[in-house]
A and B are shown apart, each in its own frame.
Chain A
Amino acid sequence: MQPSSTSVRVKFMGDLPALIGQRFLVLHMPEGSTVGDLLAQLSSDYGDAFTHRVFSRPGALHHYILIFVGGRNAKELGGLAALLGNNEVEVVMLPMFEGG
C-alpha cells in the first residue's frame, strides 16, 4: 500500500532562489515527513550544489541556514526531526553579518 502523501509548499529566501531557480516549490512528501526528509529530497533533486550550501556535515545544518515550519523556527520544533504537517516551509540562507 502506498503511504498517503501530502503536498508541502516550500519557500526559498536568501541565496537559495538563485540555486533552485524559483522562489517556491511544491513537493509531495509522505505523511509524517520531517524537515530532514524534506532537505534530503531537495538534496536528491538539486545535488551537491544544494547539499554543500545547506549542510556543514551530514546531519548538521550550516549556521546560516534558517528554517521555519508554519512560521515557527524549526529549531524550536526539533530541528531536522520537526514534522512538516500541512505547513508551509521556509528555507532561508542568510548572509553572514560582518564588520569593517
Chain B
Amino acid sequence: MSKQRKAVSLISGGLDSMLATKVIQDQGIHVEGINFYTGFCVEGHTHAIRKKDKEKQKKNSSLWVAEQLGIKLHIIDISEEYKDIVLNPKHGYGQNLNPCLDCKIDMVARAWQWCMDNDFDFVITGEVIGQRPKSQRKETMPIIARESKIEDRLLRPLCAQHLTETLPEREGWVNRDELFDFHGRNRKPQLALAKKLGFDEWSQPAGGCCFLTDESYSNKLQDMWDARGERNYEVDDIMLLKVGRHIRPAKHFKLIVSREQGENNFMRGYRPMYSYLYPTSHGGPLTLIDGTPTEEDILTAARVVARFSQGRDADEVAVNYVAKHNEGEQELKVKPMPVAEIPDDWYIH
C-alpha cells in the first residue's frame, strides 16, 4: 500500500485557502491547517474591544474554515519573531507598511519547518497569480519557494497549471490535471469552484489579512517610529494603535483618547504602564499619554480631554492626572479646548 501523503495548508480564513485545501483533500491527501498570529491580525481584536462592535462578535474565520473542511488547525503565535519582518523587510513594503512578500516567505518557511518536524510532505497555499499586486505575482512565486527553502514542495492548487511542476505533482501524490489555472483579480473562477465544492458561506477579509495593509494604522505606526527616533515596537504598542483617537500635540508626547466605553475598558488595563488623564466633573474618555510631557503639556492634554468630555461646553472641567508609576492623583481644573484650536495635524490618521 502506498504511503498516506500529508500536507499542511496555510489557512487565512478566506475563500482561497479553503478551496485550495479542499481540492487537495479530495485527491486523498491528509491535510491539516496552520495559521500564524502576528499581532497585526485584524480578526477579533477590535470587535472584542469596541462595544458598538460587540454584536459583530463572531467566529474565528480560520477555525471556522477548519471545521468546514474537517481538518485540525494549529494556530501559532509568531508575534515576537515577526517584528524582524515588519522592521526589516528585505523586499520592502506594499502600499502601506505591509511587508507581504517577506511575510509570505516567512510563513511558508515556518510551515515547511512544521512539516519536517511532524513528518508531513508538502505545503499548500491558496495563492493565485496576479491577485495581489506585490506578493502574488508570477515572478514572486518562485522567490517565495526559494527563499523559504521549501523549493518544490510548495503547491498552489488554484494556479498550479501556470507554474512549474512541483514534487507532489511529479511523484503523482496529486494529479496536476485536476488542479487549476486561476489568475488575476477576477473572482468568478473561485466562486464557481466554491459552488461546485458545495460551499455557500465564507468570510471575506476586507483589503488584507492584517492591519498593516490599513493606511491609517500604518500612519500611526510610522508616527510612533518617527517620534521615538527608532523603528521598534512592543506587542502592547501595536495593540494600542488599534484603539482610540491618536493626537500628537508635539513630537515628545501623544494622547490616546478612548472613543467609547469598550475602548475605555480595554485601555484601563494599560494604566500601570502609562501616565493618564480622566475627567472627574463630567463623563468622558480615559486618555493615555505616550511620551514625556512637561507640566505645560499636561495642561494642554487635560484641555483636550475636557474637549472630548461631556463638559466640552462648560467653562471648566476637572480632570485628574496620574503620572506613570505614581499612585497619587493630581486634579487639574481646565477650560475645554475649543474644537477650532485643535490643529488638524495633531490628529494622526
Do A and B make up one complex? Answer: no
Chain B residues engaging chain A, CB cutoff 8 angstroms: none
